[in-house]
Chains A and B, each alone.
Chain A
């Protein structure tokens, strides 16, 4: 049976408290006073849909090299540069693997999942689907409160699935609850009540009944109903219209994460798998956008034994509350702020030829290991860095991505330009012996000292704003507690 054979989640560490958003807007709209509940995940300035995608995918890739890598998002930083390809290079998967991006609709990820299942049914093996979104919302727009940033990856195959896919149903409709025109920063949307009554309530039940028929399941047999929606009671109305039991409605993670765009059906389904699903349960996973797609799955015994590289619950737990709404605006460039002459002077053109030549180093954190003396080093070089060796042309590729390290020197720099001062950077020594003068991320003043354990994350090193290019590299962050 074909299905989801593994998964991993990534949620950026910062959780913007909705009370901070509400406090900023209540003067304008008193109804905000009641909207300050819970928190939403926000990217730091150095994260985007691709960096989150790499983080979500890396754990699964360690387990098995996929044959196909799909990246689903409507907020990838590139309109014409394949984002699945960036992820592939970052995880040293370049070459004969198929890579493709799925986009343009909130149901891009669930559509990709169905496509992956179909491919495996037709003989493909091991497809990795990465769903990631960092939706940009205008200040004081509903999305600012309701959305969250995050990524999840699932592997699709036929060996020992956790969730078997039993059937699916479509209802393709060009229903314009919202749209974002090419080249525009923000969505344009229509009245919520209309979206709920004419959209969700009418379009979703049709897809559901087709999926149930495809799988041969009765509505009341569905134990877990997944339908992301930021509209109050939309899932309840749909459940009633589709004859689903009300208790089957799965938590939409609004309180602790926010709606993560295309990734959200998977986030909700996998969170349910961790918190409420029992082997044999039927899950109905729906995604609304340009119509609706519904997928019927059944949990297996394997699900009970499976430990993901990073579970949804673990990703939710690794967090830091952020109460500074202004910081969120700055990180998302929603406010014109003075970045100073140093910010201006920090701007430089990116050499695409130099970047390409060194792409394994820059995107994959690949250095070298001297086959003569065993010394690992970054970057790789013609002549070995070990003073006792100095052999020439003896190095084989060696990636430091997954290697733990310790801080050997550091500073918190208030002079250097960074969107998130102070700029923390310093020398880290990897357990295998290599070292790197690296930027640190995901830490606050006072968090760091010599000897602290760190691990590497794929991040935006610097942003080439005039030319629209995120320059990706790796940074050290405090090691996750193990």
Chain B
């Protein structure tokens, strides 16, 4: 029986760039911006980093392939740098690489950095990108909003929810994230909106309107990790430890077998269960203080609250409308604005989520600071509801 990752690795320092339409910079500048903050926070020299992981998903837009963009931008001392890509969950994958390196003892200090420079395509929304020589010849043509929008049709059919009731609930999801994002100086979108703004916005993919979709942003985020012992030796207190780190990937059942009804994330349910077991959490709704989920679209966040066992199955509508996930609710969600408003530079997003949990746990979240959070969870998803990569990470006080 594996021992799991709980309390083997501590976060030594984190950094995050300004997210947004960074027309003036490329990947190199974004990498340096996030890294400099993390390095200063960790209070080490870059020569002390043993190993590094770079996550970027749409490398063809600007960043380029391999670990070289990271090694060269930071002039790292010829150490190992591995580039990872796991769709929009790439950031969590880079973090996982660094954490495992430290946990194994192969590295004392490791770096995970995610970056994406998306605003070089000439159009809004995510670029499609290459999907192999066979898949585009048969798999349905679509965009990210169109694949995730399907959750709404299946969820409504399963739970017998009226179209307008779901539309208002997902509008509330976005209103809450906009309110939170307005308080985050690094966020891409900082304007509060009303439910009616969200409901009346132009349709992107039925039933998702413009405000149901997250920002497509440029940005980078970085984490430097080490063991709790080394962190203490370096003079750190108020240490944040990794409590659980789980990844679950589709194996084709959802897309090829009718056992899945299309209304939830099969992988998220598995990753969440394993993560709670790893972290020793028995009652997530009572024990999780706050979370950042992969709110690429409002409907994704909506169904994910159930997949993370925070809302009971079929209970998301009531919880959302009751304000359970608002900043002043029982379990604040997307307190930094989330993908929705902080923005979604793909390769950076998983690490950006951890950045907010880390700041909150250390009491450094400024205007957004929650009272005494104890356990933070991040959920980072890549792919589409029927075929995806789901990462769940839990962090908490050492």
Contact = CB atoms under 8 A, between A and B. Distances in A.
A345 B128 contact: yes
Contacts of B128: 345-346
A62 interface: no
Contact of A387 (B127, B145, B255, B259): B259
Given A345-B128, A413-B205, A433-B258, A449 B153 contact: yes
- Most-contacted residue by chain A among B137, B140, B262 (CB, 10 A): B140
B207 to A, nearest CB: 8
Interface of B: 121-123, 125, 127-128, 130, 133-134, 136-143, 145-147, 149-154, 156-157, 202-206, 208, 252-253, 255-259, 261-263, 385-386
- Most-contacted residue by chain B among A351, A362, A416, A434 (CB, 10 A): A416
A415 B141 contact: no
A435 B256 contact: yes
A427 B384 CA distance: 12
Interface stretch (A20-28, A137-145, A259-267, A373-381): A373-381
Given A385-B252, A408-B261, 19 more contacts: A345-B121, A345-B127, A377-B257, A378-B256, A387-B257, A409-B151, A409-B154, A410-B153, A411-B145, A411-B205, A413-B204, A415-B146, A416-B205, A422-B203, A422-B205, A423-B141, A435-B258, A437-B255, A462-B136
B264 to A, nearest CB: 11
A392 to B, nearest CB: 14
30 contacts: A345-B121, A346-B128, A348-B136, A354-B137, A361-B138, A375-B257, A377-B257, A379-B138, A381-B252, A408-B154, A408-B258, A411-B145, A411-B146, A411-B152, A411-B153, A413-B142, A413-B149, A415-B125, A416-B141, A416-B142, A416-B143, A416-B146, A423-B141, A426-B140, A427-B255, A427-B386, A435-B255, A435-B257, A437-B255, A461-B137
B154 A414 contact: no
Contacts of B206: 411-413, 422, 445
A450 B156 contact: yes
Given A340-B123, A415-B204, A437-B139, A358 B252 contact: no
A408 B158 CA distance: 10
B48 to A, nearest CB: 43
A107 B398 CA distance: 85
- Most-contacted residue by chain A among B121, B151, B253, B255 (CB, 10 A): B255
A415 B136 CA distance: 17
A280 interface: no
B147 to A, nearest CB: 8
A410 B157 CA distance: 11
A415 B143 contact: yes
B64 to A, nearest CB: 19
A292 B109 CA distance: 87
A439 B204 contact: no
Contact of B143 (A354, A413, A426, A473): A413
A342 interface: yes
A233 interface: no
If over half of B's interface residues share one DSSP class (helix, strand or loop), that class is named, otherwise mixed; here it is: loop
A101 interface: no
A8 B123 CA distance: 46
A471 B141 CA distance: 13
Nearest to B138: A473
Given A385-B253, A412-B205, A450 B153 contact: yes
A410 B141 CA distance: 12
A325 interface: no
B121 A341 contact: yes
Contacts of A418: 141
A425 interface: yes
Nearest to B149: A411
Contacts of A461: 137-138, 141
3 A-B pairs closest in CB distance: A413-B146, A411-B149, A341-B123
Contacts of A426: 140, 150, 153
Contacts of A350: 137
A133 interface: no
Contacts of B139: 437
A386 interface: yes
A429 interface: yes
- Most-contacted residue by chain A among B203, B204, B206 (CB, 10 A): B206
Contacts of B154: 408-409, 427, 450
Contact of A377 (B125, B133, B157, B256): B256
Given A387-B257, A413-B143, A422-B206, A471 B262 contact: no
A125 B121 CA distance: 58
Contacts of B385: 409
A355 interface: yes
Contacts of A423: 141-143, 146
A462 B255 contact: no
A450 to B, nearest CB: 4
A451 interface: yes
Given A385-B252, A423-B142, A449-B153, A341 B122 contact: yes
B16 to A, nearest CB: 28
Contacts of B136: 348, 462
Contact of B258 (A381, A429, A445): A429
Contacts of B252: 381, 385
A342 B121 CA distance: 10
A358 B157 contact: no
A471 B137 contact: yes
A426 B146 CA distance: 9
A171 interface: no
Contact of A385 (B151, B203, B205, B256): B256
A435 B256 CA distance: 6
B78 to A, nearest CB: 37
Nearest to B148: A411
Given A345-B127, A450-B153, A438 B140 contact: yes
A386 B143 CA distance: 28
B341 to A, nearest CB: 19
A358 B261 CA distance: 28
A143 B157 CA distance: 47
Contacts of A378: 256
Interface in A423-482: 423, 425-427, 429, 433-435, 437-439, 445, 449-451, 461-462, 471, 473
A351 B133 contact: yes
A226 B208 CA distance: 54
- Most-contacted residue by chain B among A348, A411, A427, A429 (CB, 10 A): A411
B208 to A, nearest CB: 8
Given A354-B137, A385-B252, A413 B145 contact: yes
Contact of A342 (B123, B130, B156): B123
Nearest to A476: B140
Contacts of B122: 341
Nearest to A445: B206
A425 B150 CA distance: 9
A377 B251 CA distance: 14
B172 to A, nearest CB: 21
A390 B145 CA distance: 32
Contacts of A379: 138
A473 B142 contact: no
A429 B254 CA distance: 12
Nearest to B134: A354
Contacts of B134: 351, 354, 358
